[in-house]
Structure 1
Amino acid sequence: MINPIDTAAVIRDGGAVGQYPGQIHEGVGWWLGACFVITAKASRLAVAHDGHPVSTEFADRLCRGAINAEHYACAVRYLGWQPEEELLTELRIREEPGAWLSSETTGDVTTVRIRLYTAQGTLLDNINGLAAIRSLIDQDRVPRPVNSRAKGTIEPWPRAPTAGGRS
């Protein structure tokens, strides 16, 4: 495995959390996206972030991992910069799993948090998928695409027009 992490320390609290750089790196986003798709058996996934530049990079990697997960051809709806509450509303309406990414910088240290949710909007835990994801990463069994036809897509989230016809 290139750039291994301490999965027990990082893959926790509903997804992943760690100091960047150091405990966590962008590849963890890719790994989580791919592993989440196969453990959830997801054909659709919604992803949003808090707008922080580090969150944006990790979200991009998570999306790319999700669309490259074995044969699932997952369609990722990329909501971009949205509050976590907006993502949770979308998950409940569309009944699809999702991920919300946030980062906080204090001095030279940035803490990255990736929260993974079931289609019902429940945060992942060791019973509903997090332990399986941790195990896949521990064993260097992060899923890869089986062929180019099995690759999914990243779809930008179309904003609904607001009052007055502007979005």
Structure 2
Amino acid sequence: MGIEIERKFLLASDAWKDDVEKSLNMRQGYLSHDAQSSVRVRICDDRADINVKSTRDGIYRLEYEYPIPMQDAQELLSQVAHRPLVEKTRHVLYVADHCWEIDEFHGDNAGLIVAEIELASVDERFYRPDWLGEEISTDARYYNSNLSKLPYKYWAEDS
């Protein structure tokens, strides 16, 4: 069984940019998404995957991900996936033995930047860099599947 334990944060500053080790371009679309689960297709640079997630409490999820042929991913994104697609650049950096992924969103979600860290357990302790802001792990508005239904540009002023 695949398990993902992830914490998400808004950013307090852009000081993280100095430590970026690599950046990846992502385009993803949802074939199915509701309060309980989602099925997503993602193209990340030259790799394509299909992903199934089941949300439990916003931090702990069941997750399964498998590579698929690039042509299949492109067809699914162009012909099947719900609109809008989620487009982002993922910046990867390491702080105190943990990998941080900073997602900088584009398109209808432009202006949103989210930091994510995957943990081995729900109660795992980790160093919180000064650039971390408010935790949003359980705020469903920030789930990528929900950003494809109600993009950031429609509610950013309200937050």
TM-score of the two chains, using structure 2 as the length reference: 0.29
So what's the TM-score if we normalise by structure 1? 0.28
Relative to total residues, which structure has the larger strand share, 1 or 2? Answer: 2
Bigger share in helix: 1
